[in-house]
Amino acid sequence: MAVEKAKARGLDVEMVVVGDDVGVGRKKGGKVGRRGIAGTALVQKIAGALAATGAPLKDVYGVAKLSSENLVSVGASLSHVHVPGRTLEDPNAGEALSIEEVEIGMGIHNEPGYAKVKMALPELVTTMLKQLLDQSDKDRAFLKIAPEDEVVLLINNLGGVSPLELGGITAEVATQLDKDYEIKPVRVLSGTFMTSLNGLGFSITILKLVDTGLGQGRSMLELLDAPAEATGWQAAVSPETWSEKFRHNSVALDEEPPTEPTNLRVDRTYLQEVLASGLNRLIEAEPDITTYDTIAGDGDCGIGLRRGAESILKYLEKYKGTDDIVVALTDITRIVETSMDGTSGALYAIFLNALANGLRLQSPSSPSEVTPAIWGKGLKYSLNSLAKYTPARPGDRTLVDALDPFVETLIASDDPKKAADAARKGAENTKGMVASLGRTVYVGGEGWQGVPDPGAHGLSQFLTGLVEGLSR
């Protein structure tokens, strides 16, 4: 209607229909053809940038059509969108998906997709990329892309996906493109370009860059990179930035700089047994810790402690390392840093890094066994270091209520058993204690007064198990 209305007024116009959705195959599309989804935004950007240079309509139309012909997209969603003015139970809203299902090929107006599946993100992305790139699927093989081709990748938010989730999706798609297809996009766009209202899903678009024939400054990539002030347009991530991201994505344990050795020695087998005793006791206590944290916090303390304990145990099973206690402790601390989350994970990592340094400062001139006195001084150094990063002190209802009495008693008595008893008593004394720090500060109502601080209880259980291991 717009085309004919414009022509009737004497305007020179052309029409380009974008049909990039491979979720609708040739057979199903029939005469109607494929739907236009998020890839349309790339066509609009390229055509708009070229038009802004003053190019004639013939060239703008040609480039828009060329872009559309080298474009494929597919979407997936966890639910149908909520259309304003309709209830979620409205029969026109489509059949609801179960909590485990994802619908592939859903249209942006709640049109049904071609399949409902139960799969996690990596498998889902594998399925979607196959539909975009698999040449053996004659019904959907709309575009052939080889590793040597330059492409632009667009990950589009259908409206209800958080930026954090969209970032994870983008990384997964780019990783699989590289690993399974040897395709490295020259640009990556990730954001909200074409929504389906509050659709809880995303779409993947791949644009194959081909020669426009218009000369320098008017290639598809240059037109995509051209400045734009449209509120829905987000700048692309350059290939240089993307390759740096992957280069620094993760560092394996054995790739980190080696720890400088010391002369503090410990029997490796004995170290494994003692640590295993403490870690296993902590794992056994996880249900109680979780229960306490559900009442007095946000419920994840026990899970975080267990995850860290299990990761260290797994490391110890294969431990063939040095008998240098500082080197061993540094390796264990790295595991804590990567496996334990939350505030407690950060506090443990700070404490253990400081403990390694506190022990290092006491390294003798020749190899010697580490003694309780050396441990005591190292722990005191670590406790003082931790105090620089948290205001938590005894009486604040935190893990410090177990840690502080353990360290002070060990220094005063050189007796690990007495120190563990002091830690257990300190944790027990947090019952009814008004919290000054931690999640308990925000917890209202009743119930928390009857349980100990989860972090203090967990630490006391670990220290008790540790001491039990010493006496075996």
- Residues 181-209: tens digit of each pLDDT: 999 999 999 999 999 888 899 999 999 99
| Residue 107: C-alpha distances to residues 198, 281, 314, 410, 452 (Å) | 13, 52, 46, 66, 52
With tokens 């081709």, the residue in question is 149
Instruction: Output the pLDDT for position 357.
Output: 94
**Number of other CB atoms surrounding residue 388 within 10 Å:** 8
Identify the weakest region by mean pLDDT among 224-238, 347-361, 434-448. 434-448
Is the alpha carbon torsion for 243, 248, 249, 254 positive or negative? Answer: positive
- Distance CA(462)–CA(468), nearest Å, equals 10
- Distance CA(340)–CA(458), nearest Å, equals 14
Instruction: Output the pLDDT for position 444.
Output: 47
248 is catalytic: no
Instruction: Output the pLDDT for position 251.
Output: 45
Instruction: Output the pLDDT for position 346.
Output: 87
User: Which member of 80, 82, 109, 248 is catalytic?
Assistant: 109
Answer whether 450's CB lies under 8 Å from 296's CB. no
Q: ∠213-216-219 over CA atoms, to 5°?
A: 60
- Residues 142-164: tens digit of each pLDDT: 999 999 999 999 999 999 999 99
Percent of the chain with pLDDT over 70: 91
Confidence grade of residue 435 (pLDDT, cut at 50, 70, 90) = confident
Identify the weakest region by mean pLDDT among 86-90, 185-189, 323-327. 86-90
Instruction: Output the pLDDT for position 254.
Output: 47
Percent of the chain with pLDDT over 90: 61
Sheet (strand 201-208) strand order: 115-117, 102-104, 71-77, 201-208, 151-157, 187-191
- Distance CA(281)–CA(459), nearest Å, equals 10
The yes-or-no verdict on residue 439 having pLDDT over 70 is: no
The yes-or-no verdict on residue 309 having pLDDT over 50 is: yes
Range with top average pLDDT, 233-237, 371-375, 448-452: 371-375
How high is the mean pLDDT of the chain? Answer: 88
- Residues 253-299: tens digit of each pLDDT: 445 677 889 999 998 888 899 999 999 999 999 999 999 888 877 77
| Residue 78: C-alpha distances to residues 102, 122, 128, 159, 193 (Å) | 5, 15, 14, 12, 19
Please state whether beta strands 187-191 and 201-208 pair in parallel, antiparallel, or not at all (unpaired): unpaired
Answer whether 397's CB lies under 8 Å from 453's CB. yes
- Distance CA(431)–CA(359), nearest Å, equals 33
The yes-or-no verdict on residue 329 having pLDDT over 80 is: yes
**Number of other CB atoms surrounding residue 80 within 10 Å:** 23
Q: What pTM does this model have?
A: 0.63
The yes-or-no verdict on residue 355 having pLDDT over 90 is: yes
Q: Which residue intervals of 114-205 are DSSP H helices?
A: 121-133, 163-181
DSSP H or E segment with residue 439 = none
DSSP H or E segment with residue 289 = helix 286-296
- Distance CA(293)–CA(308), nearest Å, equals 17
- b/e per residue 115-136 (b: at least 16 CB within 10 A): ebeeeeeeebbebbbbbbbeee
Instruction: Output the pLDDT for position 253.
Output: 43
Beta strands in 290-419 (DSSP E): 368-369
Identify the weakest region by mean pLDDT among 69-78, 339-348, 378-387. 339-348
Range with top average pLDDT, 35-49, 262-276, 334-348, 426-440: 35-49
Instruction: Output the pLDDT for position 97.
Output: 81
- Residues 31-56: tens digit of each pLDDT: 778 889 999 999 999 999 999 999 99
Instruction: Output the pLDDT for position 457.
Output: 94
Domains of the chain and any CATH numbers? 2-247 (3.30.1180.20), 254-470 (1.25.40.340)
Eight-class DSSP state of 108: T
